[in-house]
Amino acid sequence: MRRGWKMALSGGLRCCRRVLSWVPVLIIVLVVLWSYYAYVFELCLVTVLSPAEKVIYLILYHAIFVFFAWTYWKSIFTLPQRPNQKFHLSYTDKERYKNEERPEVQKQMLVDMAKKLPVYTRTGSGAVRFCDRCHLIKPDRCHHCSVCAMCVLKMDHHCPWVNNCIGFSNYKFFLQFLAYSVLYCLYIATTVFSYFIKYWRGELPSVRSKFHVLFLLFVACMFFVSLVILFGYHCWLVSRNKTTLEAFCTPVFTSGPEKNGFNLGFIKNIQQVFGDNKKFWLIPIGSSPGDGHSFPMRSMNESQNPLLANEEPWEDNEDDSRDYPEGSSSLAVESET
């Protein structure tokens, strides 16, 4: 009886957690809907008097708004990609691993299994990266998200503002969402500012639109500052071909720790996220190269470009088995084991 109550309580808590996880998304949606109303109706249709100015403002606004909403939708509803079946332990191997009590033998079993896979990263102690929750050998740059309860390919972080884990399948969309969010806030702030000054000086009558226009400028500036910092940080990560987790915890290869292990050079680093075809860089459609299970490494490119070998190696040594329980990075939350 007690066990049944515990299971029911646990299920109820999980259900509440899933519902509450959508609260940040709901907040963003409500703010965006209000900003749409305030800009289109209260500013353009009521406050702005020039017909030509109204048309120009509305056309440019809706062009930016479409891409902003499109990328936000893609960031939320593009599911994180899991490792494929060949990285999972077979039933026989899983039973052998679980029944083996000697840690050194378990470690050797994982080493033997990893020889058949394109896996080149290790834990800080040099062991094969293994997820004991998903029962799989982690591909390079893959991590377990404790919020999503799954291993995510090229995991960057878990973001509560999109209620999704950002990784290989949707990192491009997340970057585009940040870019169009910055552009959205900047456009609103620059076009509203002149009318903010007019209301401030009393050149326009104090009507209901005054509140919306004044508050619209305040909200746009507030979000712009926070978003431009976060976007700038992720631009830096892309230029170095790093994830947020790799920026905090240096990846360890079979040869040792190397903070620039995936750095291929500025242009190639960008192509690792956006693809080779530049006409798709601004459009939220999947164009990232590869399947998310393996990635070109710096060591493989040094023979083609010897200048890559001139940078100093990284000296930190962090254990990959470390757990990250929902720590925060600006507007994002990292949650990885």
Identity of the amino acid at 42: E
SS3 content of the chain, % helix, strand, coil (to 5): 55, 10, 35
Residue spans of beta strands (DSSP E) within 111-207: 121-122, 130-131, 136-137, 143-145, 150-152, 157-159, 164-166
The β-bridge relationship of strands 136-137 and 130-131 is antiparallel
Q: Report helix, strand or coil for 245.
A: helix
Query: What is the C-alpha separation between 216 and 205, in angstroms, rounded?
Result: 17
Identity of the amino acid at 211: F
Query: What is the C-alpha separation between 118 and 253, in angstroms, rounded?
Result: 12
Query: What is the C-alpha separation between 180 and 74, in angstroms, rounded?
Result: 13
Query: What is the C-alpha separation between 5 and 278, in angstroms, rounded?
Result: 56
Residues near 108 by Cβ (< 8 Å), separated by ≥ 6?
none
Of 134, 161, 154, 136, the residue nearest 146 (C-alpha): 134
Query: What is the C-alpha separation between 123 and 251, in angstroms, rounded?
Result: 8
The H or E element that residue 325 is part of is strand 324-329
Catalytic residues: 159
Query: What is the C-alpha separation between 80 and 96, in angstroms, rounded?
Result: 30
